[in-house]
Amino acid sequence: MNRRVKRRITRIVIIILVLLSMVVLLNGQTPIKRIYEDYGTWVVETDNNQIGVAAYTTVERITEFVEDDFNYSNAYAQKKLKKEPKRIVRYKYDLYLASESIYNGDSTGTWMYGIRIFASGVEISKEQYPDGFMEFISIEPTLIYTHETGYPENINFEIKWDKAAYEPRLLK
């Protein structure tokens, strides 16, 4: 191999390594979600089958910086009165459900009907879903609802539903 080819190969390898390290670095920057509350598992057994759902919530603190959108009339005033961006902190709570249903010995998903979500005794899903909503819950954790607030609270989440049924057509 001549010298030019070796240099090109070396440059390509270096570029690939740099891109790979950037991907690894950016992947490590994802926000951390911690489990806020684990609600355990609700199970009803029928013959040799069962309908079951596990539930938990996560919380994520989100910090944003917002520019003051006041528009000054002249450049001198803009320069002199420029304000620092305002820091806003929000808290995002995610409610997850995972199916624990079993049909003929195999894990399967669960259909839930008339789901309503409550936060500290107040139904927070009512405006979007006045009669509750229907959701298919997979055996993998399924995000079913997100609640955001501007300050940390000691929120007691509660979930109610009208009925639930295992899905015999989609087995693990």
- pLDDT tens track for 36-89: 888 999 988 887 889 999 999 998 888 887 766 555 555 555 555 666 677 788
Q: How confident is the model at residue 13 (pLDDT cuts 50, 70, 90)?
A: confident
Q: What is the pLDDT of residue 136?
A: 93
Q: What is the pLDDT of residue 84?
A: 67
Find out whether 129 and 142 touch, Cβ atoms under 8 Å: no
Residues 7 and 35 in one domain: no
Of the candidate ranges 71-75, 139-143, 166-170, the one whose mean pLDDT is the lowest: 71-75
Q: What is the mean pLDDT of residues 111-119?
A: 93
Separation CA 112–CA 94 (nearest Å): 18
Q: What is the pLDDT of residue 82?
A: 60
Q: How confident is the model at residue 1 (pLDDT cuts 50, 70, 90)?
A: low
Q: What is the rounded end-to-end Cα distance, in angstroms, of the chain?
A: 53
Separation CA 84–CA 63 (nearest Å): 15
Residues 46 and 87 in one domain: yes
Separation CA 63–CA 36 (nearest Å): 18
pTM of the predicted structure, to 2 decimals: 0.69
Residues 46 and 8 in one domain: no
Q: What is the pLDDT of residue 32?
A: 63
Residues 87 and 147 in one domain: yes
Q: Token pair for residue 63?
A: 């910090």
Separation CA 16–CA 22 (nearest Å): 10
Q: What is the pLDDT of residue 114?
A: 94
AA letter at 15: I
CB within 8 Å of 38: residues ≥ 6 apart: 55, 56
The string of DSSP codes covering 133-162 is EEEEEPSS-EEEEEEEESS-----EEEE-S
Q: What is the DSSP letter of 73?
A: S
Q: What is the pLDDT of residue 69?
A: 55
Residues 44 and 10 in one domain: no
Residues 46 and 105 in one domain: yes
pLDDT: which is higher, 27 or 124: 124
Number of domains in the chain: 2
State the CB neighbour count (10 A cutoff) for residue 102.
Answer: 19
The domain in which residue 164 lies consists of 31-171
